[in-house]
Amino acid sequence: MSLLLAAALLVGQTTPIPKLPPANPIPLADADTSAVMAPINAFLAGVAARDPQAILAVVRPDGGATYATEAADGGRSITRRTWAEVAARFAPGADRWDERISDPAIESDGDIAMVWAPYTFRVNGKVHHCGTDHFDLIREGGTWKIANASWSSRSTGCDAQ
């Protein structure tokens, strides 16, 4: 088989790439790691309190959130929102909302950091959906702010964390 023919046959094929191993959670012991987690913890507290202003206080206004939703029927969608739109979704209401992350993997280099963690979202104490959160943070003037967030969201296969 000629080299040209072999190359033509390979054009439509992809080589499967093995998944990376999961990141190892870093214990929240050192001050810098705790500082990276502070705006995330405040963001999640704002979600639980259904307090849009608390959410907006820990984010960079020029950022936003992107989330990938997988419906129970397998349908998928991607949504992008500004922080103002995200915060508005957490306006006061009758339902109790609680998002909990577990085993955050934290990476930082100078004034940038990222946090990756599985989460479970509950409404009135019952698991509503779950997925993985990814927060992108920037440190300005010694303070960490969430620049962007992305998360996956599904309502099936959720462990009761």
Nearest to 124 by CA among 150, 105, 98: 98
Nearest to 31 by CA among 106, 121, 98: 106
Q: At a CB cut-off of 8 Å and minimum separation 6, what does 151 contact?
A: 65, 67, 68, 119, 131, 132, 133, 134
Pick the CATH number of 29-154 from 1.10.10.10, 3.40.50.720, 3.60.20.10, 3.10.450.50: 3.10.450.50
The residue among 132 and 13 whose pLDDT is bigger is 132
68 - beta bridge partners?
78, 152
Q: What is the pLDDT of residues 68-77, one digit of tens each?
A: 999 989 899 9
Ranges of H-type helices in the chain: 3-10, 31-49, 52-56, 83-89
Which pairing describes strands 59-70 and 143-154: parallel, antiparallel, or unpaired? parallel
Give the domain ranges of the chain.
29-154
Q: What value does the mean pLDDT take over residues 75-81? A: 96
Q: What value does the mean pLDDT take over residues 106-112? A: 91
pLDDT over 50 (residue 7): no
Asked if 151 and 81 count as a contact pair (C-beta separation under 8 A), the reply is no
Residue type, 35: A
pLDDT confidence of residue 28: 44
Asked if 63 and 80 count as a contact pair (C-beta separation under 8 A), the reply is no
Q: What is the pLDDT of residues 22-67, one digit of tens each?
A: 555 444 456 778 899 999 999 999 999 999 999 999 999 999 999 9
pLDDT over 70 percentage in the chain? 80
The residue among 16 and 140 whose pLDDT is bigger is 140
